[in-house]
């Protein structure tokens, strides 16, 4: 089946309140409707605290909404039992965070292969698959090193390889360049872009760095728990504001 441009993430009326002490509630997501297509490279941005990470967590099934639905292809994920949702998340999503965590005593390829090894895959097969995804992010030459011997940018690319190892439907990244210098950030972003264009990966990324907005084909602005989709002019205006902040 050709899944090009088919909806892969559908969010309807999504609301999330955090319950504080006693009965006090803090509304974080105020009613979000959103559709993301297979093979989209989506960037979500907005000021600190507007709910970006919370939105990502609800998309991957980690944060049960107060109301509304999250449908991944055909699956209404919060209708699944919690255990089934965990399995769904592990199979369908690859996650990249600001700082990758490593089993420091293991090599790069072993860290990448870990999800397969845990699932009981034979070492030879797990290694072959790890080398393949490391190749996709141009990190195969570091396979035998320890992750901590690599630069931040290199580690983030290895983290991306690990996110790919299960051949997930969707790569979800929460500020993956947040801890990197400009050069490394650019390198990592180019890698995400290549995975999207050359390998047709669906990517949903949160970033603070508006310079990268044009690399995505879908830009989503968030303000105070709500989503505002942007047209090309909106993207330009956002970048202009960002540059004014820097200069």
First and final C-alpha spacing in the chain:
49
Query: Taking a C-beta distance cutoff of 8 angstroms, is the pair 51, 227 a contact?
Result: no
Question: Among residues 77, 75, 31, which one has the least CA distance to residue 51?
Answer: 31
Provide Rg for the chain, Cα atoms. 18
Task: With contacts defined by CB under 6 A, name the span among 50-58, 133-141, 194-202, 213-221 that binds ligand ATP.
Answer: 50-58
Kindly identify the residues of this chain, within the stretch 33-72, that bind Mg ion according to CB under 5 A: 53
Q: 142-178 burial by CB neighbour count: b if 16+ within 10 A, else e?
A: bbeebbeebeebbbbbbbbbbbbbbebbbbbbbbbbe
Judged by beta carbon distances under 5 to 8 A according to partner kind, the member of ligand ATP, Mg ion, none in contact with residue 51 is ligand ATP
Determine, following the binding rule CB under 6 A, whether residue 48 of this chain makes contact with ligand ATP.
yes
Task: Pick the piece of the chain touching ligand ATP (CB under 6 A) from 3-11, 52-60, 165-173, 193-201.
Answer: 52-60
Does 223 contact ligand ATP by CB under 6 A?
no
Which of 28, 59, 96, 112 forms a contact with ligand ATP (CB under 6 A)?
Answer: 28
136 binds ligand ATP (CB under 6 A): no
Contact indicator for 43, 216 with CB cutoff of 8 Å: yes
Q: Does 18 bind ligand ATP (CB under 6 A)?
A: yes
49 sits near ligand ATP (criterion: CB under 6 A): yes
> Counting contacts by CB under 6 A, is residue 245 touching ligand ATP?
no
Rounded to whole angstroms, how far apart are CA atoms 220 and 206? Answer: 9
CB of 43 to ligand ATP, least distance (A): 13
> Which one, of 3, 2, 33, 40, lies nearest residue 15 by Cα?
33
Q: Which of 32, 42, 54, 196 binds ligand ATP (CB under 6 A)?
A: 54
Among 5, 26, 149, 241, binds ligand ATP (CB under 6 A): 26
- The DSSP secondary-structure symbol of 217 reads S
43 binding ligand ATP? (CB under 6 A): no
**Under the rule (CB under 5 A), what is the footprint of Mg ion?**
53
Contact residues for ligand ATP (CB under 6 A)?
A: 18, 26, 28, 48-54
């Amino acid at each position: 089946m050709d899944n090009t441009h088919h909806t892969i993430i559908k969010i309807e009326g999504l609301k999330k309140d955090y319950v504080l002490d006693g009965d006090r509630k803090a509304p974080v997501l105020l009613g979000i409707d959103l559709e993301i297509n297979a093979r989209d490279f989506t960037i979500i941005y907005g000021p600190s605290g507007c709910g970006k990470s919370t939105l990502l967590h609800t998309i991957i099934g980690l944060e049960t909404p107060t109301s509304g639905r999250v449908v991944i292809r055909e699956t209404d994920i919060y209708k699944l039992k919690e255990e089934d949702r965990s399995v769904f998340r592990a199979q369908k999503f690859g996650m990249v965070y600001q700082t990758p965590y490593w089993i420091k005593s293991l090599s790069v390829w072993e860290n990448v292969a870990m999800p397969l090894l845990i699932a009981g895959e034979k070492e030879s097969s797990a290694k072959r698959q790890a080398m393949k995804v490391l190749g996709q992010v141009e990190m195969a030459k570091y396979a035998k090193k320890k992750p901590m011997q690599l630069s931040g940018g290199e580690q983030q690319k290895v983290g991306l390889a690990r996110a790919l190892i299960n051949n997930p439907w969707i790569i979800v990244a929460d500020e993956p360049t947040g801890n990197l210098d400009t050069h490394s950030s650019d390198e990592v972003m180019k890698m995400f872009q290549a995975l999207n264009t050359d390998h047709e990966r669906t990517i949903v990324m949160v970033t603070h760095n508006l310079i990268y907005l044009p690399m995505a084909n879908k830009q989503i602005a968030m303000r105070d728990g709500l989503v505002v989709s942007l047209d090309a002019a909106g993207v330009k205006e956002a970048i202009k504001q960002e540059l004014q902040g820097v200069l």
